Structure 1
Amino acid sequence: MRKKHQARGNGFGYGMVYPNNPQCVTRTLSARYYKDGAEILIDRGWDMATGEKDFDDPLNQQHRPRRLTPRECARLMGFEAPGEAKFRIPVSDTQAYRQFGNSVVVPVFAAVAKLLEPKIKQAVALRQQEAQHGRRSR
């Protein structure tokens, strides 16, 4: 199936993550992940050549790629880290996938806020100075 789509110039619509490769990065998690989970798949040793010859090979089927769990999505989006208190997910898996797919990556948001902090403080101080001197703010 993948070869057929590639021959037509179409993307196949999935991204494989290799957990043993520290250089591996993942695709963006989207709110539609709950539908089929194909954007991000975790490699479990699937043999592509065997799968193309005999997709239903029982031994190879045990190593099919799997999708992320809601807990893994929470970690990917920065809501918790292994060893920390668990982020409570009080909704169904479908709702959790939608919510994590629509969220902002927490560590990225924190880093941007930290970079903006001095600029915001500078702007506030400037407004206060202008107010003290009777000038209008911009």
Structure 2
Amino acid sequence: MGAMSRTKGKVGEREIAALLAELTGCDVRRRVRQHDGDSDLEGLPGWCVEVKRHARASRALIAGWWAQAAAQAERHGGIPLLLFRQDRDAWRAVWPLSVNLTMQTAAMWRGYEWTAEGSPKAWAAVFRETLTTTNQETTP
């Protein structure tokens, strides 16, 4: 990967981290020391985040990114979240459809065909709902 690509990726990670921090109220930050397979962002409890900035994002490319996000989430025990933005376009979020149904099934349906896609604002609503549901289940 060239220097321009790495810079574009870092800028994209910072941009979406700031947006998610604003939308969720969490302290979302770019993970500075990333190792292969680490989440790109930290500060979203229970979620493993992959961020992509690309000139064009075909469905096949997005499906590949999703496979990467799902694999790293499985390794780290989180729920996968893919955030991507094409040049001159808005950010998009992809998450497992099962999260919209119930947290108990979040480990199921990891394939791209079982995902929901929406704006970061739509995902943040799901995130807040999962936090509320999780807190209610753990509160006596």
Which of the pair is proportionally richer in strand?
2
Give the TM bin, normalised by the shorter chain.
Answer: under 0.3
Which of the pair is proportionally richer in helix?
2
Give the alignment's TM-score, normalised by structure 1. Answer: 0.27
Larger radius of gyration: 1
Give the alignment's TM-score, normalised by structure 2. Answer: 0.26
